[in-house]
Amino acid sequence: MAVEERTWVGKSVSRREDPSILAGRGTYIDDVKLPGLLHAAVLRSPHAHARIRSIDTTAAQRVPGVVAVMTGPEALEYVTAMPAFCAETVVQHAIATDRVRFVGEAVAAVAATSRYAAEDACQQIKVNYEPLSPVSDPHAAMQSGAPKLHDTLDSNVVFERTLRFGDVDGAFSQAQHNVKRSLRWHRMGAQPIETAGIVASWDPFSESMTVWSNTNMYNYIPWVFANLLKVPTNRLKMIPCLVGGSFGSKHLITKCFAIAGALTKATGRPVKFIEDRLDNLAANDNVGPDRFYDAELALSDDGTFLGLRLHIVDDYGAYFQFAHGQHGNALSQPTGPYRIGALEYGIRCVLTNKVQQGFFRGAGSDPGNFALERLVDAAAEELHIDPAELRRKNFIRPDEFPYKTPTGNVYDSGNYTRVLDRAIAEGRIEHWRNEQQRLRKEGRYIGIGLASCQERSTYSATEWWFWYDKPPFPLTTTPESVKLSIDAFGGFLLTLGCPFWGNSPSTVAAQVVAEEFGVDPNTIAIDYADSQSGALSAGPGGSRLTVMISGAARGASRKVKDKLFRVAAHLLEASASDLELVDGSVRVQGAPTRSMSIADVALKAHLFKLDIPADEESGLSATFTYDHPYTTKPSDDRTDMGAFYPIVSHACHVPVVEVDPETGLVSVLEYLAVNDCGTVMNPKLLEGQVVGGIAQGIGAALLEEYVYDENGQLATSTFMDYLLPTAYDVPPAVRVIHEETPSPFTEFGVKGGGEGGRMVAPIALASAVEDALRPFGVRIDELPMTPQRIVSWIDESKAR
């Protein structure tokens, strides 16, 4: 199939968004100012588990500048309990009412004329706690007699289920080898440099609420926010701001919403609540999975993979707002790029006294990649098969796509061998093997890692509920919309329904429209719609935005172009099918003098009704909703989860590390990522996403962890303790090579690539560190590989 000649799509067009942002003019939520604005601060629990006996706010109310002090029960006059995706009764409030269940849970909020005064007031609030026994270890939490977090549940195991796909018993009984590993993926969080924030303004006279925020989903499920604020769904206007990063943490900022919303309703004044970093680290729902895997891979003597068993304990924290969240996602690719016909996947979702899980880039498929690739490496070692060869042998072949995996999810296309071979060819592996040999003699330990992983993209909402047989709200729509207008003077305006998260929707959408109309993308103006003017858009997340916005922009372009041609045909007295668009003009094919500029046609369409076809509405614009290109429902018996994440990218990463066995410090010397995200819309932007994801992956591999002690006290409550990668942690030269196996299901054949760096890098780095420490016989089965852990693993190995 010939590749289309493209002018704009596929080019590294510079970003639209940048000049204003660089000049310091971008409006982020904390930049929003309103007359009479009040500022909120939140008092948070120092206990991991306690009853609230009483709260005395009298002194706080007397602090100068304070307008309102609100406790949990008082807030319930204005807002409801937190909306929840789960079917179980797990009640959560933005401000705790009678009980706190994690360190950092809100117990009161203050609105004052300044944040300083609000914080002063918080210090004056007297809370009488009755401490309860906390439980911070999920295995302890599962025991009978453990402190129970919710009276509405029978135990802290809020959900457990095992799904079986294919003939698992058959696969395991006929297998000649069975590789087992117990693996640990620790709790980590998104930590965007900008925290979550809300400015909420209640007008009691029109009974309407206006909210500025950095949340997502205001054009998808705004009614969730409206219901939360006890506002009619058509009287809530949510206005987006630029978002200073999210990585999954700002999908639904319901707690902040409720706090600001309750305070604005109580005071009748606009209220701003911006989390500070302590708020965000302790209480934002930016937390990823926290898992214990018992994993087994069944294979035959010659290395053919036959079956996979994964049993997982996942520590969800104190609440279950997003239900299985990061386990729905994990069913998209548990068998990876391999032809594995049978899968057993069991989860136990356990509640403990920690902040709850939300979503964090990778959304549960990252530890899934870790579990699988560790098993594959273990199999290679035990069977004495080269790890690359073992992968090639089991890869799904190019002619097997679209490939239906055991869970029911489909992989659209791929060429995994090509990606692996390219990585090995470009990874300077022979050089580094020689270096490894040479340096070992000097007592230095270099390792070369390899990981071949899927990067599923473009989620369908079915993954949020299909673990339930009777889900409370089994939605199946996961759309994205844009509006394209050409004004009376030929000016293009593209209005997006999604927010700006740091990926580049404006730039990509403009490239698509530019391609469709043959105009310069820089002439296209871009706007972001609010929740009352935008059409259905699920926004960024799940690596979906480039795919979905490309489809939406193309669809809107085609609708507008159709009308443009109909009107032009009438004006040129030709048939629409004889027209073409060339250099900004509509003209009759073969008769180039019979032409009109887009601007001239637009002018007529807008203002000269009597000159255009009688059945045309005046104007020249269209809104297009691009629905998920391939979603199917799960079967009733859940032996087939349906296609829910079928646009699947793939990558092979080859990092080189040095490990100091004395200190446990790991330096990443070099990094190669070969990435196949289908058709690449903008190579420079995609590379930026991959490198950024790799940096987060280095964090996951070496630095990042939420540490709670046995009393549920959060030890990593600041950036001094929760460590984010710096420029020194990322190697000087991260090479990203793009391969392109287009998707058959999307416009342009594009696939998503936003999460891939973070979904593959930790796994590749584990492999590299294990390779470095091979002389010590250390096996890596836990992330992050902190210096203390590495040193103790070496010590344990020596002792064996």
Interacting residues toward other proteins by CB under 8 A: 14-15, 17-19, 21-28, 30-31, 64, 115-117, 120, 190-195, 242-245, 247, 276-277, 500-504, 684-685, 687-689, 691-696, 718-720, 724-728, 730, 732-734, 757
387 sits in which H/E element: helix 387-394
Q: How far is the CB of 175 from other proteins (least distance, A)?
A: 40
Nearer to other proteins, 194 or 366 (CB): 194
Q: Tokens 């780095």 identify what position? A: 765
State both tokens at 212.
Answer: 């500025």
Nearer to other proteins, 91 or 724 (CB): 724
Minimal distance in Å, beta carbon 361 to other proteins?
A: 10
Smallest separation, CB 434 to other proteins (Å): 25
Phi, psi of 589 (to 5 degrees): -60, 130
CA angle 436, 437, 439 (to 5 degrees): 65
Closer CB to other proteins, 610 or 727, in the complex: 727
In the complex, minimum distance from the CB of residue 118 to other proteins, in angstroms, rounded to a whole number: 13
| Nearer of residues 358 and 725 to other proteins, judged by Cβ | 725
CA distances from 89 to 21, 159, 285 (A): 44, 11, 19
Q: Which residues contact 744 (CB under 8 A, 6 or more apart)?
A: 402, 412, 413
Residues near 538 by Cβ (< 8 Å), separated by ≥ 6?
216, 217, 220, 461, 478, 479, 480, 498, 544, 548
CB of 63 to other proteins, least distance (A): 9
Give strand pairing partners of 347: 161, 312
Burial class (CB in 10 A: 0-12, 13-18, 19+), 532: middle
Q: What is the 3-state secondary structure of 651-697?
A: EEEEEEEEECCCCCCEEEEEEEEEEECECCCCHHHHHHHHHHHHHHH
Kindly state the smallest distance separating residue 754's Cβ from other proteins, in Å. Answer: 10
Angle subtended at Cα 407 by Cα 404 and Cα 411, rounded to the nearest 5 degrees: 35
Least CB distance to other proteins at residue 678 (A):
21
What one-letter code names the amino acid at 131? P
**Which are the contacts of 718, defined by CB distance < 8 A and separation ≥ 6?**
277, 278, 281
Minimum distance from residue 275 beta carbon to other proteins (Å): 11
Task: Find the shortest distance in angstroms from Cβ 132 to other proteins.
Answer: 30
Residue 579: count of CB within 10 angstroms of its CB:
22
**Residue 27 Cβ, how far from other proteins at the closest point, in Å?**
8
| Pairing outcome for strands 480-486 and 621-626 | antiparallel
Distance CA 521, CA 12 (A): 12
Q: Which is nearer to other proteins, 276 or 386 (CB)?
A: 276
Instruction: For the CB of residue 199, give the shortest distance to other proteins in the complex, in Å.
Output: 13
Which of 215, 248, 28 is closest to 236 using CA atoms? 215
Phi and psi torsions of 758, nearest 5°: -75, -20
What CA–CA distance (Å, rounded) separates 678 from 712?
44
Q: How far is the CB of 26 from other proteins (least distance, A)?
A: 6
CB nearer other proteins, residue 678 or residue 693: 693
Shortest distance, position 647 Cβ to other proteins, whole Å? 22
Please return the burial class of 184, using the count of CB atoms within 10 Å of its CB with bins 0-12, 13-18 and 19+: middle
Minimum distance from residue 720 beta carbon to other proteins (Å): 6
Distance in angstroms (rounded) separating the CA atoms of residues 480 and 103? 37
Query: What's the DSSP call for residue 534?
Result: P
Residue 657 CB, nearest approach to other proteins (Å): 16
Comparison of 246 and 557: residue with beta carbon closer to other proteins: 246
Closest Cα to residue 349, out of 150, 181, 100? 150
Nearer to other proteins, 24 or 590 (CB): 24
What region does 311 belong to: left with phi over 0, alpha with psi -120 to 50, or beta?
A: beta
Phi, psi of 644, rounded to the nearest 5 degrees: -135, -10
d(CA 749, CA 743): 4
Please state, in angstroms and rounded to a whole number, the distance separating the CA atoms of residues 749 and 757: 20
SS3 category, 757: helix
What backbone torsions phi and psi does residue 668 show, to the nearest 5 degrees? -95, 115
Give the residue among 169, 178, 407 at the shortest CA–CA distance from 296.
Answer: 178
For the CB of residue 17, give the shortest distance to other proteins in the complex, in Å: 7
